[in-house]
Amino acid sequence: MLAQRVASAAVGVPIIVLLVWAGGPWYTAAACLVILIAAYEFQAPHHGSMAPLALLSAALATAIVAGANVGTDWVLWFTIGAVVIPLVWVTLRADPNAALADWQWATTGALYVGLLGAHIVLLRELVDEGDWVYIAVFGTFAVDTAAFFVGRAIGSRKLAPTISPGKTVEGTIGGIAGGFAMVVLLNYFLGPRLEFALIAPLALLLPVAAVVGDLSESIIKRGMHIKDAGTVIPGHGGFLDRLDSILFTFPVVYYYLIWVVA
């Protein structure tokens, strides 16, 4: 599994770097594709493979992300659509026994993956360069990587055995420390270069958000009775498995820049 993770990183990291550097339509298109797949992975266990409502929910999640390229107003409008359109769908289907659960599932998936995922584009559009996107992405990856190796080396106490049995307290602390260090270092070596007193809170918030995001997806998968959301990325599972922390860390960075740094 470790070899697969390394191989996936060797392929994926250069692609991410190039897309973030390019920005614009290429970056947005890639984000939309990833969100489309991740949103479908969320829907498939409940609705079934190729179910129309699963595809509709995934499309709505993608529309929210695409709207982020135009502006926050479009994010809002497509978010409203993600609530209303599935409700209209289940109403027209006229199956009272399944309507509420199907509508809740379709809406939840579109908002969880789409609305949070929209910040992947919003953050790139916030500033001219992609430095903050690099900080968000590689800060998040550092949390996951550090937690993995520290947990394997010295992990003994379970963090949340009923949610994610493989996670340990020691690994989580190592992950938070690794994420903190990565954010601080990238802040210095890339463009932002905020003073330590200003970057330190974000360097702590980001890894904590990454841990919460990881645990949140884990408990959702427990409810679905699945181990991984997909099998697209060797060593990681599906796109939703790879995005679990990203969906939480990007909004944290985005709103920190708006509310604190700006």
How far lies 8's CA from each of 13, 14, 74, 108, in Å? 8, 11, 34, 29
Within 13 Å and on the Cβ side, how many CA atoms surround 144? Answer: 23
Asked whether the predicted pLDDT for residue 67 surpasses 70, the reply is yes
What per-residue confidence (pLDDT) applies to 29? Answer: 96
Q: Which of 41-55, 156-170, 202-216 has the highest mean pLDDT?
A: 202-216
Interatomic CA distance for residues 36 and 61, integer angstroms: 7
Sign of CA dihedral 152, 150, 162, 209: negative
Summarised one tens digit per residue, pLDDT across range 118-159 is 999 999 999 878 999 999 999 999 999 999 999 999 988 999
Q: 233 near 201, Cβ under 8 Å?
A: no
Neighbouring residues of 101: CB distance < 8 A, sequence distance ≥ 6: 46
| Chain mean pLDDT for the chain | 90
For residue 38, with 0-12 CB atoms within 10 Å meaning exposed, 13-18 middle and 19 or more buried, which class applies? buried
What per-residue confidence (pLDDT) applies to 137? Answer: 96
Query: What's the token pair of residue 151?
Result: 């947990």
Q: What pTM was computed for the model? A: 0.92
Asked whether the predicted pLDDT for residue 3 surpasses 90, the reply is no
How far lies 119's CA from each of 65, 75, 79, 92, 250, in Å? 8, 10, 13, 32, 6
Residue extents of the structural domains in the chain: 1-21+130-262, 24-128
How far lies 17's CA from each of 54, 83, 133, in Å? 31, 34, 10
Neighbouring residues of 6: CB distance < 8 A, sequence distance ≥ 6: 235
Averaged over 14-32, what is the pLDDT? 93
Judged by DSSP in three states, 164 sits in strand
